[in-house]
Structure 1
């Protein structure tokens, strides 16, 4: 490589973000939450066996996964429920600044409507719904299994 190649021309570089995976304790509830948010269930599967064990570095893996897709087809969220080995406990109420914490942000067209629809599914605001620099209305909420979800509505 000479350093003059166009960006992205190097071999072995990232092509796209394919999905983000989150471990949940109640797969059906998590799927219902994200369907209500507007994601589409792309498919479900049970995965297990030696290849899966070697892939994730655990022994005796058996898990159910649900692949959720954003309406534009570009983003995916993989929800994973482990049956074995047992799920290691985490803090489902960990604050947003916890090391390694995950947060998934979605652009929405009506943040108030989305919040109203998600509350019956257990969504709780972490802070407040705020207007940020006259460009966005934003909020953080906690979803199933403690997943931090951010919502952003453009105001421009």
Structure 2
């Protein structure tokens, strides 16, 4: 790899989703471009054109919010539990104030999946799953010792 990982999310309401990820998670706006229909088809992205907004974390990872000019014709169902769907996926954000971040996400329109309190899944590891305003699953994790989990991040706090 030559750059930090990027994740793409298909969205319907681009302004709302941009506001959600910038406001609730503090992601920074990078760019907005429109890809015309011919290029979108050639790239196997969409039969029509689409707009992409790139947002970035302080560590350089990016989320791409992709909004097709025409609404998608197929919508995947949502199972109650994440791993009960064969095509399930989610985006993880590692934070140092899980309660504050979860509160901001809920205030921004996210739906909690694990209740209003973080779950300690093993000693010192807390998580919370939520659905963003369009149903994408977002995981928020806090480690009591981030350097033990990610020694490559030692000294980057």
TM-score by length of 2: 0.80
Aligned length: 140
Residue number in structure 2 paired with 1:76? 62
User: Is residue 2:140 matched to residue 1:151?
Assistant: yes
Rg larger for: 1
Residue number in structure 2 paired with 1:64? 51
Once the two structures are TM-superposed, the CA of residue 135 in structure 1 deviates from its matched residue by 2.2
Residue number in structure 2 paired with 1:87? 72
Residue number in structure 1 paired with 2:114? 127
Which sections of structure 1, spanning at least 5 residues, go unmatched? 1-13
For the aligned residue pairs, the C-alpha RMSD in angstroms reads 1.9
TM-score by length of 1: 0.80
Cα distance change on mapping 1:43 and 1:57 into 2, 3 Å: closer
Q: Distance in 2 between matches of 1:136 and 1:18?
A: 23
Q: Distance in 1 between matches of 2:139 and 2:45?
A: 30
Cα distance change on mapping 1:149 and 1:94 into 2, 3 Å: same
Could you give the per-residue CA deviations for residues 42-88 of structure 1, whole angstroms, max 9, x where no partner exists? 111111142221101643x2211111111111x1111111113x312
Counterpart secondary structure, 1:146: coil
Which sections of structure 2, spanning at least 5 residues, go unmatched? 146-157
Match of residue 105, structure 2, among 110, 118, 121: 118
Counterpart secondary structure, 2:43: helix
Once the two structures are TM-superposed, the CA of residue 16 in structure 1 deviates from its matched residue by 5.3
Counterpart secondary structure, 1:144: coil
